Every structure is written in structure tokens, then in C-alpha cells.
Amino acid sequence: MHYTLTFAAVAKHLDVLHRAKLINKHRRGKEQIVSISPHTLAAASKYLETYKQQWENRLDSLDKYLKSTHKNTKGKK
């Protein structure tokens, strides 16, 4: 595959991905082998899923709260 980017530019991009632990790098002789790190992607996806779940639960909790205050107002009549 040929890229229009310079070698230095590609290396810089890869370095960012490596720091984010999204790729693994290792040397094989003169070559630098780069492979994707599915573990990090899975962790990121799990993190976002948890964040979403947190809001789902909070909205459930709001529903429960609204129902309980509604009941209390009714009870006071």
C-alpha cells in the first residue's frame, strides 16, 4: 500500500495510536511490525457502554422518584 503521507508523518500517527495503546509495535529485523490492539478497543467500548448504562439507570431512578412523590401528593389529599 502506498500512502501520500511521508514516512515521518505515518510514524507520527502510529506513535499517537501507540500511546493510546490502540496498536502494538514490535521489531522484526529491520521491519517495525504494527498490529491492532483489540483489548483497548474493547475496553473503550465497555467504558462507553457503562457510561450509557449509568444514564439509563439515572433516568429509571428519576421515574421511580417521580412516581413516589406523585403517590405522596395523592396520599395527602
Partner 1 sequence: MEPIKEISFERTYDASPETIWRAWTIPEMIKQWWGPDNVTIPECEIDLRVGGKIYIVMEAGEAMGPYKGTKWPMLGEFTVVEPNSKLSYTAKAWTEGQKDEATIDQTTELTLTKENGKTKLQLRAAIYKVGPRAGMAIQGMQAGFTQQLDKLNDFLTVKK
Cell 493510546 identifies what position? Answer: 20
Candidate segments 6-14, 22-30, 31-39, 51-59, binder of partner 1 by CB under 8 A? 51-59
Candidate segments 7-15, 22-30, 31-39, 59-67, binder of partner 1 by CB under 8 A? 59-67
CB of 62 vs partner 1, minimal distance in Å:
5
Per-residue burial over 42-63, b if 16 or more Cβ lie within 10 Å, else e, is: eeeeeeeeeeeeeeeeeeeeee
List the beta bridge partners of residue 27: 32
Question: Would you tell me which residues interact with partner 1 (CB under 8 A)?
Answer: 43, 46-48, 50-67, 69-70
